[in-house]
Structure 1
């Protein structure tokens, strides 16, 4: 049940089927010279739509902005503060809860450390504030890292590499420009660097040359299956 396409009546009927909602978070962030700035958002949203074909599940409109510290100097990246990100999630959950939703799956396609921690902090504060809700805050990597190992050839692939290029080649091939180049940046250990692009020129962390649309289809299906499992576990949770 894709919320942005539903009428008020559709939403009311949907509540009779489930009180679980999937909220996709992404980013406007560089993904090399070959992938769109919306890569993280696309992945998270497509997984939610796929999962909603398998079980009753509300899918909220995606949040396109995230906290992107490592790529803030790369052209096209639009980063927001962790405080803004936390407030955004908390307001969305409070509003959806007021309409009868109680189980919240927050999946972020952007896996930056500060970004994910802000979402987790917001989730912890929400479950302390609203006693009848359940929440999960995860990245795709959290859900599929074990089963996905056999599909991926590149060790340490993390950003705009084999995994993400495969995903966009599958779901939005018209947005892929070439294959990109292999890159594994190295930052000075323990030092906070202002101009991170000095150490990460092309915005890739991995090997996009090994990407295929077939791998992308399998990865998307795998993560969607894991979302279904997570939804069932969350609904069954007694806390």
Structure 2
């Protein structure tokens, strides 16, 4: 059930089938010279929509903005603070709860460390505030990389590389402009830097040349499977 296309009558009827909602978080962030700025959002939203074809599941409209520190100097990246991100998540969950939802799958397509931690912190703060909700916070990339062993050839592939290029080739091939070049960042260990692009010029972490649409299809199917399993586990979870 795709919330943004539903009427209020359809939404109300849907609550008779499930109280579980999938909330996709993404980013507006550079993904090399070959992938769209909305790559993270596209991946997260597509997984939710595919999962909703298999089970009763509300899929909320995606949140397009995230906290993007490592790519903040690259053209096109629009970042928000972790404080704003936390407030967004908590407000959205509270509103969905008021509308009848009880089980929340927060999936982020953006895997930045501060971004992920902000979402997890928000979830932890909501648990004591609303005692009868269940929340899962998961990262799309981590599911794809973990489940995709045997599919992905590039060791350490992480951003705009083999995984993400394959995913967009599968779902939105018209948005892929070439393949990009293999690159791994060389940030100084432990030192915070202002000009992050100096150490990561092309914004790729991996090898997009090895990407294929078939790999993307297989990866997406694996991630969707994990979301379907997670929804069932969350609905049955008891503490």
TM-score range, shorter chain: over 0.9
2:206 corresponds in structure 1 to 206
Separation in structure 1 between the aligned mates of residue 189 and residue 145 of structure 2, nearest angstrom = 25
Which of structure 1's runs of 4+ aligned residues deviate more than 3 A?
none
1:156 paired with 2:156, answer: yes
CA contact (8 A) 1:144 1:222 kept: yes
1:168 corresponds in structure 2 to 168
Separation in structure 1 between the aligned mates of residue 5 and residue 36 of structure 2, nearest angstrom = 24
2:188 corresponds in structure 1 to 188
String of CA shifts for 1:160-210, please: whole Å, max 9, x gaps: 000000000000001000000000111100000100000000000000000
Separation in structure 2 between the aligned mates of residue 176 and residue 137 of structure 1, nearest angstrom = 29
Secondary structure at the counterpart of residue 104 of structure 1? strand
Secondary structure at the counterpart of residue 150 of structure 1? coil
Secondary structure at the counterpart of residue 22 of structure 1? strand
CA contact (8 A) 1:144 1:226 kept: no
Instruction: Provide structure 2 residue ranges, at least 5 long, that are not aligned to the other structure.
Output: none
CA contact (8 A) 2:145 2:163 kept: no
CA contact (8 A) 2:110 2:141 kept: no
TM-score, normalization: structure 1? 0.99
CA contact (8 A) 2:186 2:200 kept: yes
Secondary structure at the counterpart of residue 177 of structure 1? coil
Q: CA deviation at 1:128?
A: 1.1
CA contact (8 A) 1:35 1:176 kept: yes
Separation in structure 2 between the aligned mates of residue 217 and residue 230 of structure 1, nearest angstrom = 20
- Count of residue pairs brought into register by the alignment: 239
RMSD across aligned positions (CA): 0.7
Separation in structure 1 between the aligned mates of residue 233 and residue 23 of structure 2, nearest angstrom = 17
Secondary structure at the counterpart of residue 23 of structure 1? strand
Separation in structure 1 between the aligned mates of residue 107 and residue 67 of structure 2, nearest angstrom = 15
Q: CA deviation at 1:141?
A: 3.2
String of CA shifts for 1:100-126, please: whole Å, max 9, x gaps: 100000000000000000000000001
Q: CA deviation at 1:146?
A: 3.2
1:137 corresponds in structure 2 to 137
